[in-house]
A and B are shown apart, each in its own frame.
Chain A
Amino acid sequence: MNATTALRNGWQKVFGAGARSARPAPGDTSHGTILYLEDISVSFDGFKALNALTLYIDAGELRCIIGPNGAGKTTMMDVITGKTRPDAGSAWFGQTTDLLTLSEPQIAEAGIGRKFQKPTVFEQHTVMENLELAVAGTKTIWTTLGSPLDRRQHERIEEVLETIRLQDRRSMRAGMLSHGQKQWLEIGMLLAQEPRLLLVDEPVAGMTPQEVERTAELLLSLAGKHSVMVVEHDMDFVRSIARRVTVLHEGHVLAEGTIDEVQNDPRVVEVYLGE
């Protein structure tokens, strides 16, 4: 029995399984919390990247995560998106979706989108094609081979183009965009997936002040409709968008609160802000 189940799961992973695929029910947030990370530990060759990390994100919240290099911010995102499996702990998306049992595409399908630190748009594809690749819908090869986008998907793409203000760049190759525009396109690709939770890694690194301001507006406009988790070093930027800030240090949560509370916390000052 177990062998059959394992075989079927493997089959579905590689071949995609149409109607039979166990599409995970999207995170049930009836308790107001969309992400539960509890006692997560990850170690690489003895180095504890995450050490009993416990963190909750509320539905519709915009949360900033700060912390010195090596505090475990990226590893935490890797765990949430299924790239890294923790040695211990649990990770739930809403009350019903156990992230640790899902593969990366299944997690994306369940409604968690991630923006990487470096802009990783598809440079050879146009802006439009980038959004088309990302837009929510069936993503098995038989669908993408046989049928063009439906009307709802087209509308969604137009909506996103407007939000990220790249309408007039739609036919441009993404590789030709400026750094800031690439970052927005990438956020747009996340939005096109209609995620419940967005993970955004250092969105304003390397941006001009105008671009930073525009990005802050963009992220603020998303909160409420989506839950957003932003990892960022730029304290001015964090101050301009965050209501709640979590400070990570050596793989666990050091402090949590408003930006003022956190900045005045002596432990935080010692490890991070005081440097």
Chain B
Amino acid sequence: MQTSHPAIRLLAGERGTQVFLALLLTVGVAAPIMHLAFPEGSALHLSSYTMTLMGKYMTYALLAIAVDLVWGYCGILSLGHAAFFALGGYAMGMYLMRQIGTRGVYGDPVLPDFMVFLNWQELPWFWHGFDMFWFAALMVIVVPGLLALAFGWLAFRSRVTGVYLSIITQALTYALMLAFFRNDMGFGGNNGLTDFKDILGANINAPGTRVALFVASAVALGLGYLACRYITLSRAGRVVQAIRDAESRTRFIGYRVESYKLWVFAFSAVLAGIAGALYVPQVGIINPSEFQPINSIEIVIWVAVGGRGTLYGAVAGAVLVNYAKTYFTATIPELWLYALGTLFVIVTLFLPKGVVGLADKFTSREPAARAVTA
């Protein structure tokens, strides 16, 4: 009987979660030490390239968890989550642009370079406030959250589900991409935002800042994971899974299905936004290609490869697929998309529970009872 409070069960009883949190803690502590304490050339030294790469993977993992929450648990196949990720990234990018100050090519104390280049005389209204970190941080949460609420309210209230919903989420991210490509939008057009100098007064390329961003990504991933796990273990989590399995049945026993879907979708969008905000300072650029429809589809592939409906599977998938992507695009770039496609087909046909499902099969005494059977 489930009498214990969900908070107690957050850490107990699931090996995947324990393994993930232990790994995250180890990497989160060891990597910064290896980067800072050991000199270059030492066998134990971790290069700043690797460090940044791992930080980037962590933001991807957070994004994958966000998608797993809506797809694996709630059955909403969102093919537009890259949009929320990119919006969070743009909010952070705007803050970083405002920090450049007179160090830009044109040396304008207020206007970012691209605005000077476009002959703009003053800052557009929506750029105000972004010189303050707290305001930008707030926008990282508010903008994706509000967009998800507005979009979800329209879609779920009209009972748009299944493949139709997936298609309009693609349309959403595509529309945003086209909008952000336009110079008139005021977000730097197809060049996007780049050339960042400082974050919170610290040089963005300094080793210490890199480590801080890495640790912030690890902490965000850990907290995001625990928040999602709390949700999925609560009664609300079981309602959400009931909606995934039999939506109209759940409605008949008295739940406001639209309201549940809406809040889960919005929460997931906020997580994606936070992931984007941590991604941008580490990669040093945000441009409209982040809104590409293909990006959102890739996230879904990470989750499918890892194993949906488990959270830790999403993390595993994000890291595995992106490591493979980093490796293949460096060695045989023309084959990467084929490799990705093949991977997806193989996983769909032979591994409905993803690689974590496979791992469970070989190592566990009890199968992953809760995982989705596709």
Contact = CB atoms under 8 A, between A and B. Distances in A.
Contacts of B252: 81, 104, 108, 113-114
B249 A122 contact: yes
The number of chain B residues touching the other chain, given as a range, is: 35 or more
Nearest to B234: A145
Interface in B241-284: 241-242, 245-246, 248-260, 262-263
A16 B238 contact: no
A123 B373 CA distance: 11
B365 interface: no
A181 to B, nearest CB: 17
A83 B262 CA distance: 21
A237 interface: no
A14 B153 contact: yes
A234 to B, nearest CB: 24
A122 B256 contact: no
Interface string B223-242: 00000000100111011011
Q: B-side binding surface: helix, strand, loop or mixed? A: helix
B239 A144 contact: yes
B1 interface: yes
B251 A104 contact: yes
B241 A145 contact: no
A105 B6 contact: no
A13 B256 contact: yes
Given A148-B235, A193-B254, A124 B245 contact: yes
Contacts of B251: 104-105, 108
A58 interface: no
Contacts of A104: 251-252
A145 B48 CA distance: 41
Contacts of A10: 157
Contacts of B157: 10, 13-14
Interface string B91-126: 000000000000000000000000000000000000
Given A108-B254, A124-B370, A128-B1, A16 B241 contact: no
A119 B131 CA distance: 58
B42 interface: no
**5 A-B pairs with least C-beta separation:** A108-B254, A144-B235, A144-B236, A145-B236, A16-B259
